[in-house]
Amino acid sequence: MVQDPRVFAIGLDVDDRFGVFGSMLGMTHPERLIGTPVSESAMMGVALGAALSGLRPLVVHLRVDFMLLAMDQLVNYVAKWRYMTQGQVKVPLTVRAVIGRGWGCGAQHSGTLPSIFAHVPGLKITMPSNPYQVKGLLLSAIADDYPVIQIEHRHLYNDACHVPKEMYTLPIGRGEVVRKGRELTAVTLSMGTVDTLKACERNELDVEVIDLRTVKPLDEDIILESVRKTGRLLVVDYDFPFAGVAAEVTTRVVEKAFGDLREAPQRITFPECSMPASGVLEKAFYPSPDTIAARIKALLSRAPQTSVEGGAHG
Amino acid sequence: MIDEQRLLWLLTRMRLIRRFEEAIVAIYPTDAMVTPVHLHIGQEAVPVGVCAHLRPADTLFFGHRSHGPALAKGLDPKKLMAELHGRTTGCARGYGGSMHLVDPPNGMLGSSAIVGGGIALGVGSALAAKLSGEDRVSVSYFGDAATNSGVFWESVNFAALRAVPVLFVCENNDLSNTMRQREHMFADITRAASLFMLALSANGTDVLDVHEKAGQALEHVRSGRPALIECKTRRWMKHQGVERDDLPFNVVDEARDCPIRRLESHLLERALVTRGEIDEITERVRQQVDEAIAFAMASPFPTEGDLIREV
């Protein structure tokens, strides 16, 4: 905000004392934090109108689930505007949305959902897995002249890692190999990256872990290069199974590296049900480093897999 | 008092819209225009009376009934005709069609056909003007049906809370497709809006009344606060397409309801213009529309290779 007077933030509670889990406290230009009524649809439209008129809005949603109230604006307007106008106006709009989890928050406060937005041409989607990426990707998103949605996992706010004070950007659309390995390519993102790395480190698994960092545009090249080396694919996607990011990654690998695969691709996702509130059920719902490690070991022991079940219980 | 130049401008713009839309009626059966059209015949006074007060930099966001507001704001009829014919010389290069017009130099930053949603964009554009300290206003232009939507009330509420310089223009033709207003909106629109902001009502078949009320409302908006005007008019054509409407309760009396006839009678009665000057305008506009048609028909179509561009 200091560098560019056109940047402003808009959303529920962006200007309150909690500051979106602390991420928006201590801002240098409080007059450019616009707290809104509970009007998600219109606020996305307001942000679009402001973006078309030369400002660079950052729309903040405390939960990805609430963003769904703005789907008409996001899908029918924001995503399509560049194509319908053939680039005669820029759409420098960025959205930050938070994935909730835990403490029994239940089905409507825990959505991940990037594939819903990825489905429509015209939207870029980033999903950082640590605070360093949050800043770098967000600054790229704000600098982008067209729409970017950044989905951040709630639990990342508790993570610490080195975040430089100065401005830096990370490229949208480029993944990162965060662990080198030879026996299996694990493609993952967001919380999935955190847990997959833990699973591999604790169990000394010879697995190459690719952190996507961006859902769309998908970094195909980094995935294919790894699969050609390892011959095995496991996608760890902390989202519902049907038509998710795991399905898209798997399809592309099958289309473009079929001959390099030693075995059928696999995925770990949420089960085919919503997030329950009770602690016992919540624990059963989510994958964890232990369940991920167990699944990888089963794959590497060459136990034949004839069916793929959605869910952490592979 | 309005000066003669402004009066002639009002007449010319209304005649341009009327002639343009009539040309569509004539051409449409040939399928030279492959796009749904929502015509402004009979409703010309509303966009023209409002746009008379707007500068090029003031932004205007409208819905599917787009030709009237777009031409009133200054979109080149050639570019509109070419867009309807799907040519690369169209205002959206053939990618938008009738319902997605764009003309940034004239403050039209794109349009949407989903009823109601574009209203929020006008509020956002006005917010941008306020945050940047720019001296301009925005207009959110919509029909009575759009007041059914949640996003309309969200926009009105936010504009009032944040005091943004936006004018909400409700072009009320008493119809949501085939549903009368009394069946789709429980409350009087002006009265309901008046809880949030200055709200005026105008006779939408009388361009001088629209011009007067829009002038008052925009003076208020240029001082930094939102306003709404509701202009009651009649829809002569069906919701979509080139046939005259035939709903039994939608009775149009052209002698009473035609805004062009009304203004011309007014001007002649007061000897503000001569019959000759009126005929000149009519002829000039006819030529302008003919040129637009010729331009469109002579323009190239995009090619298959143009499909994946500016996604």
- Report yes or no on B56 lying in a domain: yes
Contact flag B109-A52 (C-beta cutoff 8 Å): yes
Interface probe, candidates A74, A85, A120, A146, chain B, greatest B C-beta count within 10 A: A85
Please tell me the distance from the alpha carbon of residue A300 to that of residue B45, in angstroms, as a whole number. 75
Which parts of chain A register pLDDT below 50?
A: 306-307, 312-314
CATH code at A7-158: 3.40.50.970
- Per-residue pLDDT at A11: 85
| Domain enclosing residue B137, as ranges | 4-296
Question: Which residues does A280 contact at the CB level (< 8 Å), separation at least 6?
Answer: none
Chain B nearest C-alpha distance from A85 (Å): 5
Contact flag A50-B124 (C-beta cutoff 8 Å): yes
C-alpha separations of B156 from A40, A57, B168 in Å: 14, 20, 8
Contact flag A52-B155 (C-beta cutoff 8 Å): no
- Report yes or no on B304 lying in a domain: no
Which residue among A109, A153, A155, A162 is the active-site one? A109
Interface probe, candidates A73, A86, A89, chain B, greatest B C-beta count within 10 A: A86
pTM of the model: 0.94
Residue B27 in contact with residue B49, Cβ under 8 Å?
Answer: no
Give the sheet arrangement for strand B166-172, strand by strand.
B59-61, B138-143, B166-172, B227-232, B198-203
**How does DSSP assign A99-121, residue by residue?**
E---TT--TTS----HHHHHTST
**Residue among B222, B225, B226, B244 at smallest CA distance from B234:** B244
User: A88: buried, middle or exposed (CB in 10 Å: 19+, 13-18, 0-12)?
Assistant: buried
Residue B92 at interface with chain A, using a CB cutoff of 8 Å: yes
User: B279: buried, middle or exposed (CB in 10 Å: 19+, 13-18, 0-12)?
Assistant: exposed
ipTM value for the complex: 0.94
Contact flag B129-A53 (C-beta cutoff 8 Å): yes
Residue A192 in contact with residue A239, Cβ under 8 Å?
Answer: no
Examine residue A217 and say whether the peptide bond preceding it is cis (omega within 30 degrees of 0).
Answer: yes
What residue type is assigned to position A155 of the chain? H
Residue A285 in contact with residue A274, Cβ under 8 Å?
Answer: no
| Unique residue bearing structure tokens 């769904």 | A68
Please tell me the distance from the alpha carbon of residue B52 to that of residue A1, in angstroms, as a whole number. 38
- Per-residue pLDDT at A26: 64
- Per-residue pLDDT at A25: 60
Please tell me the distance from the alpha carbon of residue A294 to that of residue A311, in angstroms, as a whole number. 13
Residue B170 in contact with residue B144, Cβ under 8 Å?
Answer: yes
Sort strands B227-232 and A207-211 into parallel, antiparallel or unpaired. unpaired
Q: Do domains A7-158 and A176-300 have the same CATH topology?
A: yes
Residue B231 at interface with chain A, using a CB cutoff of 8 Å: no
- Per-residue pLDDT at A24: 63
B57: domain CATH number is: 3.40.50.970
Contact flag B126-A49 (C-beta cutoff 8 Å): yes
User: A306: buried, middle or exposed (CB in 10 Å: 19+, 13-18, 0-12)?
Assistant: exposed
In total, how many domains does chain B have?
A: 1
Looking at residue A94, the DSSP 8-state letter turns out to be E
Which parts of chain B register pLDDT below 70?
A: none
List the beta bridge partners of residue B167.
B139, B227
**Residue among B240, B264, B262 at smallest CA distance from B253:** B262
C-alpha separations of A265 from A119, A198, A244, B33 in Å: 22, 22, 15, 49
Question: Which chain B residue has its CA at the smallest distance from A53's CA?
Answer: B125
What top-level class would CATH report for the domain A176-300?
alpha beta
Please tell me the distance from the alpha carbon of residue A54 to that of residue B57, in angstroms, as a whole number. 12
**3-state secondary structure labels for all residues of chain B:** CCCHHHHHHHHHHHHHHHHHHHHHHHHHHHCCCCCCCCCCCCCCHHHHHHHCCCCCCCEEECCCCCHHHHHHHCCCHHHHHHHHCCCCCCCCCCCCCCCCCCEHHHCECCCCCCCCCHHHHHHHHHHHHHHHCCCCCEEEEEEHHHHHCHHHHHHHHHHHHHCCCEEEEEEECCEECCEEHHHHCCCCHHHHHCCCCEEEEEECCCHHHHHHHHHHHHHHHHCCCCEEEEEECCCCECCCCCCECCCCCCCCCHHHHCHHHHHHHHHHHCCCCCHHHHHHHHHHHHHHHHHHHHHHHHCCCCCHHHCCCCC
Known catalytic residue at A155? no
Q: How many CB pairs (< 8 A) connect A and B?
A: 140
Chain B nearest C-alpha distance from A66 (Å): 15
- Report yes or no on B308 lying in a domain: no
**Residue among A134, A127, A147, A129 at smallest CA distance from A214:** A127
The contact set of A with B (CB < 8 A) is: 5-6, 8, 32, 34, 36-37, 39, 41-55, 57, 72-73, 76-77, 81-89, 121-122
User: B251: buried, middle or exposed (CB in 10 Å: 19+, 13-18, 0-12)?
Assistant: exposed
Three-class SS of residue A147? Answer: coil
Q: How many CB atoms lie within 10 A of CB B154?
A: 24
- Per-residue pLDDT at A268: 97
What residue type is assigned to position B289 of the chain? V
| Nearest-CB residue to B96 (from A55, A76, A85) | A85
Chain A nearest C-alpha distance from B130 (Å): 10
| Nearest-CB residue to B157 (from A37, A52, A84) | A37
Please tell me the distance from the alpha carbon of residue B74 to that of residue B69, in angstroms, as a whole number. 9
Q: How many CB atoms lie within 10 A of CB B57?
A: 14
- Report yes or no on B9 lying in a domain: yes
Residue A235 in contact with residue A266, Cβ under 8 Å?
Answer: yes
Contact flag B131-A41 (C-beta cutoff 8 Å): no
Three-class SS of residue A57? Answer: strand
List the beta bridge partners of residue A7.
A56
- Report yes or no on B305 lying in a domain: no
**Cα–Cα–Cα angle for B115, B160, B43, nearest 5°?**
40
Q: H-helix or E-strand containing A195?
A: helix A191-203
Chain B nearest C-alpha distance from A207 (Å): 36
| Unique residue bearing structure tokens 């769309």 | A216
- Per-residue pLDDT at A313: 46
Instruction: Delimit the domains of chain A by residue range.
Output: 7-158, 176-300
Question: Which residues does B253 contact at the CB level (< 8 Å), separation at least 6?
Answer: none
Interface probe, candidates B35, B98, B121, chain A, greatest A C-beta count within 10 A: B121
Residue B154 at interface with chain A, using a CB cutoff of 8 Å: yes
